[in-house]
A and B are shown apart, each in its own frame.
Chain A
């Protein structure tokens, strides 16, 4: 019986066509992901060379004044792409993966974005996560919506009922063949991904595979539930497609609109204004105003008194510092707002497998908002470290030549990707068990009507 069913499935042109098409689109998505990561990695590699030349040239131009030299010098902290990023581009195309900062005020440097074509962002990436979240469910719907109704509509169910021990078993058999076929394609694609993208076979990759597999199982469960209604093929198709539209288009978009309105971020614009005023107004105020605040922030620099000159680099960098210090509150509020958005999204994700899957993919690929916030914080530490290193040298007026400029290499930020298996897996397992269970129970209870 099993082999017969498999033969029947393999012979259907539509099913095979769908599987092959998905395989092709899947490979295309891997190519796109690979190109994306390669482009970013290339830029990250080039910046090292660029920084070396940039520092050497400026050191040549401004040999006499440490303060002036540091006005120009940029130092880079790179956020390297994780291998999984090629499967889920996530937020990484919007975010900047290279922060090149001077030791002047950080607040008007750290939010600078990368260059991107907004039309690409609008249409969305055709990455592997899109293939899994949007396209695989469509194939599952196409393969399963008429599993029972077709037999009924073609009048073959009566025949089946006489041969099979139970129609439920018969249905499960048909379903399992389709699950097998879909998973073959999924695993084939993931296998290609592992080989072509040199993904490490670690915990993170495993979690990624698990999430993808469970997400597809959810769709099989949903389909089983719809089949258990025992309605016509047409109605099944309409119902399943409606679920698809709601789960992958309408609900996430509506939730996004809600979050944007619930947690707007005027703090972003406010930070910008505060930073600019905090620094520039100091030029027109008595120097003591700036210096008192600066010495209060860094008592260790009290030993450098303000020189009796109209302009001094000590005063200049103290003013720059004020831009950051006075916009700190607004910047903190901005971060808190984003955390609130993050928490609200995580809550709603429990109820939507597609959102959960996208967020899990992004998290595992270190391509989510959390990771961006971490990168911002790492940039703050990086910047502070540079400041604390150069401030005394500028204030002392130490010689440019003495410094070993070659040692200022590009630094790397390492995102922390923790795999919390329970958090990643359970929501999908629970909702699949619930939906699939109701479906099977329905089929078992209401005898299949022949």
Chain B
């Protein structure tokens, strides 16, 4: 390897591009969009999280300040949970706009997470979000292709290729040199992103742990992606007979990778694996519930059997004589059964969704853009896995809340029926405080990496394949 000709060619490409008059408008436009995306992304993150934290604190306050009451009333008063945004969501919105932000948790019932940004959209959201990640994944590749399409073809068209080769430069030097030059130009675009991200991460350092590690990974993977783009641009240019052909080919690749493949693979996945509507889903849950025991049906055999065995075990004639509150026990049993059934169906639903996503995920092997997209969302805590994980944590919290109230009822509420004028049974409000507040745990970096193994491998595969192609090409390509 002779470094000097490579660097010389890279330097020449850099100087030529800098002088060409195309770079500055593109760079200017990119920085403008970047500034806008950063501003809106960061502002959305801050405003939304401030709002949600404020309301979350209010919910907690009202919960703790609730007066003495019957624990089952408290179970229906329930809890509101607001989804907090990860600081890196300002970088990559991912699913943020499409997942709900608030959910009401109560006994017996799993409510939907509501109020997604998409549900309040005028239809504009169909065009997508503008975020730093979107600019890096969609706009920057196109700009790099615009800047690199004629990296080799122009030499060929101007006849300078022959001169270069007669001076002892080989294909290897030429291809590496041009790639390096284009990479340096790409660096001009990437640098402001890096600086912005470093600044924002420093601002949000206290809010989440592992931010720096996540940021490092993001920068590393995006760096690899940009190197990959430079290789693609130079190689396509080397294999094209004219600049026009190279440009058309690169535009075609970009359209395929950035626009057509992601949408169509997802659409096909969705088409092949239809998921149930809410009505269907709820009907199935209810059917199973009726089968396994419906605590609302006074003649349900399952609950009748429980009652009989309790009476025999405690050697009493009526439930009023049991040493604990009977209806609290029944509700706790009902909660256990219903949430088991619900979770079973919910996991099935998530499996269908995962199947729907699989085609797009696997398309990363053909589409490096897709690999980066999933990886980036994962690292920013805004991907499908984070969405599933949030719902699981919410359901666990809801279940514990309901069962805690049932336990309180069993322990502290009398079994004697009250007359119509009697004051209802109550327990002290001191018990409310004992319930821990809602606390969301983000997936840690290790889990994210594990979930994104396919994307990481696809990205590495692409880099290696292009690198190998470059070596192969340096032997195969012809000058004329």
- Flag whether A190 is at the interface (Cβ < 8 A): no
Tell me which residues across on chain B come within 8 A of A42, comparing CB atoms: 277
- Flag whether B52 is at the interface (Cβ < 8 A): yes
Given contacts A113-B100, A256-B130, A310-B418, 17 further A-B contacts (CB under 8 A): A90-B126, A95-B119, A100-B279, A117-B275, A117-B357, A118-B99, A119-B360, A120-B266, A123-B267, A134-B259, A234-B149, A249-B138, A269-B52, A272-B80, A273-B58, A283-B69, A367-B123
A-B contact pairs, 9 of them (CB 8 A): A43-B277, A61-B297, A113-B119, A122-B94, A125-B267, A130-B263, A248-B127, A256-B127, A354-B127
- Flag whether A50 is at the interface (Cβ < 8 A): yes
One of A171-179, A191-199, A260-268, A291-299 contacting the partner: A260-268
Of residues 354 through 403 on chain A, the ones whose CB sits less than 8 Å from some CB of chain B are: 354-355, 358-359, 362, 367-369
* Per-position binary interface string of chain A over residues 88-108, scored 1 when its CB falls under 8 Å from any chain B CB and 0 otherwise: 001100111010100000001
**B121, A46: Cβ atoms closer than 8 Å:** no
**B277, A114: Cβ atoms closer than 8 Å:** yes
Instruction: Give Cα distance in the complex from A233 to B244, angstroms.
Output: 7
- Which of A61, A119, A126, A260 contacts B356 (CB under 8 A)? A119
Nearest CB in chain A: distance from B76 CB, A: 8
**B47, A264: Cβ atoms closer than 8 Å:** yes
**A120, B270: Cβ atoms closer than 8 Å:** yes
Tell me which residues across on chain B come within 8 A of A123, comparing CB atoms: 262-263, 266-267, 360
**A237, B263: Cβ atoms closer than 8 Å:** no
Using CB atoms, name the residue of chain A closest to B374.
A119
Q: How many A-B residue pairs have CB under 8 A?
A: 252
**B124, A119: Cβ atoms closer than 8 Å:** no
Tell me which residues across on chain A come within 8 A of B97, comparing CB atoms: 122
Instruction: Give Cα distance in the complex from A358 to B126, angstroms.
Output: 9
- Flag whether B437 is at the interface (Cβ < 8 A): no
Of residues 103 through 118 on chain B, the ones whose CB sits less than 8 Å from some CB of chain A are: 104, 111-118
Of residues 207 through 251 on chain B, the ones whose CB sits less than 8 Å from some CB of chain A are: 243-244, 247-248, 251
- Which of A257, A342, A359, A369 contacts B129 (CB under 8 A)? A257
Tell me which residues across on chain A come within 8 A of B111, comparing CB atoms: 112
Tell me which residues across on chain B come within 8 A of A258, comparing CB atoms: 40
* Per-position binary interface string of chain A over residues 299-326, scored 1 when its CB falls under 8 Å from any chain B CB and 0 otherwise: 0000000001111000000000000000
Nearest CB in chain A: distance from B95 CB, A: 4
- Flag whether A35 is at the interface (Cβ < 8 A): yes
**Which residues does B use to contact A, with CB under 8 Å?**
33, 36-37, 40-41, 43-44, 47-48, 51-52, 55, 58-59, 62, 66-67, 69, 73, 76-78, 80, 82, 94-95, 97-102, 104, 111-130, 134, 138-139, 142, 146, 149-150, 243-244, 247-248, 251, 255, 259-260, 262-264, 266-267, 270-271, 274-281, 283, 296-298, 349, 352-353, 356-357, 360, 384, 387, 418, 420-424
Given A113-B114, A269-B115: A39 touches B277 (CB 8 Å cut-off): yes
**B296, A43: Cβ atoms closer than 8 Å:** no
Tell me which residues across on chain A come within 8 A of B149, comparing CB atoms: 234
**Which residues does A use to contact B, with CB under 8 Å?**
25, 28, 31-32, 35, 39-40, 42-43, 46-47, 50, 61, 72, 90-91, 94-96, 98, 100, 108, 111-126, 130, 134-135, 138, 146, 153, 233-234, 237-238, 241, 245, 248-250, 252-261, 264-266, 268-270, 272-273, 276-277, 280, 283-284, 308-311, 338, 341-342, 345, 354-355, 358-359, 362, 367-369
Instruction: Give Cα distance in the complex from A100 to B423, angstroms.
Output: 35
